[in-house]
Amino acid sequence: MTSSPAPKNVKRQFPNPKELAPLLKFGGLSLHRREKRLAGALTIWDLREIAKRRTPQGAFDYTDGAAESETSLDRARQAFRDLEFIPNILQDVSTTSLLRTSLGENFTMPVGIAPTGFTRLMQTEGEIAGARAAAKYGIPFCLSTLGTTTIENVVAAAPGGTAWFQLYMWKDREGSMALVERAQRAGVKNLILTVDVPASGQRLRDNRNGLTIPPRLTAKTLINAIPRTAWWMNFLTTPAISFASISEWPGTVSELLDKMFDPTMTFDDLKWVRANWKGTLTIKGIQNLDDAKKAAKFGADAIILSNHGGRQLDRAPVPLHLLADIKGQLKGDMEVHLDTGIMHGADILAAIALGAQFTYVGRAYLYGLMAGGQAGVERTFEILRSQMVRNMKLLGVNSLEELQPKHIRFLHRS
């Protein structure tokens, strides 16, 4: 059988130079490599990949890793993947608002920067970059007890921003309260007391990397540094990493945390902190309903449902799974916040729909920081903001207040 010739459906001609010229658009040579690098990041996962390329393994793994099998972190992220949104169609969504009030303050988005320790280890701009980016985007910045910038310097660096302070109760109670008093004098209005660290979780990546503060210049770290010269130049030519608590530690990070944290802390200590703190008090690390009720009883203004980013108890409860039940059974005005596992603006919307008043990101912020300093942190929140706005429109809502549990359904995995 012979094939018939192909039908002549088109007429061929030589390209017309006048028609071809508008199609030949070449980007100009950019000397701003950081801006180009960050503009190419369309998701938080993209920022993570950039961060991994630019950061030594020990510092990156400290951020990226979790405790033991890392199951707690994996499950927290999976919980967001295992939900589906139920949209309403034909709604006027020409305007959308991400405005949120939390603890008496107004913010442009329902997400803040979670407290993270050793931040200048990730990238030399550290907490200053985070605080200034947060101020620019109208959201709170939470400074950790194990931060690498003083509370006074954070407040001074972003005078128009909102700085909150996170407290670990140390064995040295006077030292702990001295930090609280400094935060009060600096103008901090919200104290975040973290309560899930009677001992440090076993963070195997840090142990295997031999991570110390500051990092040692060993043969392994020098080899790892070869493609990451910018990080090492910053590390070697800027002031040494120091903390409010300790300037240098010869052991691993886990050993430092075990030495500092107080395993005797009880709800009586929470009562004592409440009596000595004049601002709002948030309790971070709540993982069941009974503890949430006790926190309310002892005067907390807010709780954060959190398993510490999966960095403490392996196989810990998933905060998102706890949210609706705890929110529904708490009485009074105490706010319920949430962290752990958030990697997309839609994750934030899901938490709001299920009852969270506010949310926090830690790793997502640090990935941006490692990818490009303050500009990278700003890129983090630009990505999250655009994702929230787009998904609100697709859901058919104009404001966060319109988000309800009816918009969420969890898929059941076999």
Rounded-to-integer distance, Cα 168 and Cα 246, Å: 14
Residue 139 token pair: 């959201």
Rounded-to-integer distance, Cα 235 and Cα 239, Å: 8
Q: How many C-alpha atoms does 402 have within 13 Å on its Cβ side?
A: 16
- 382, 42 in Cβ contact below 8 A? no
> Which amino acid type is present at position 196?
D
Q: Where are the alpha helices (DSSP H) in 138-285?
A: 151-157, 173-186, 204-209, 219-225, 229-237, 253-260, 267-276
- 66, 389 in Cβ contact below 8 A? no
Catalytic (active site) residue 344: no
Q: Are strands 83-85 and 408-410 parallel, antiparallel or unpaired?
A: antiparallel
Active-site choice (32, 308, 321, 344):
308
Q: Compute CA distances 34 → 39, 193, 223, 365, 372, whole Å.
A: 8, 36, 24, 17, 6
b/e map 130-163, b = 16+ CB within 10 Å: bbbbbbbbbbbbbbbbbbbbbbeebbebbeebbb
**Residues with catalytic roles:** 308
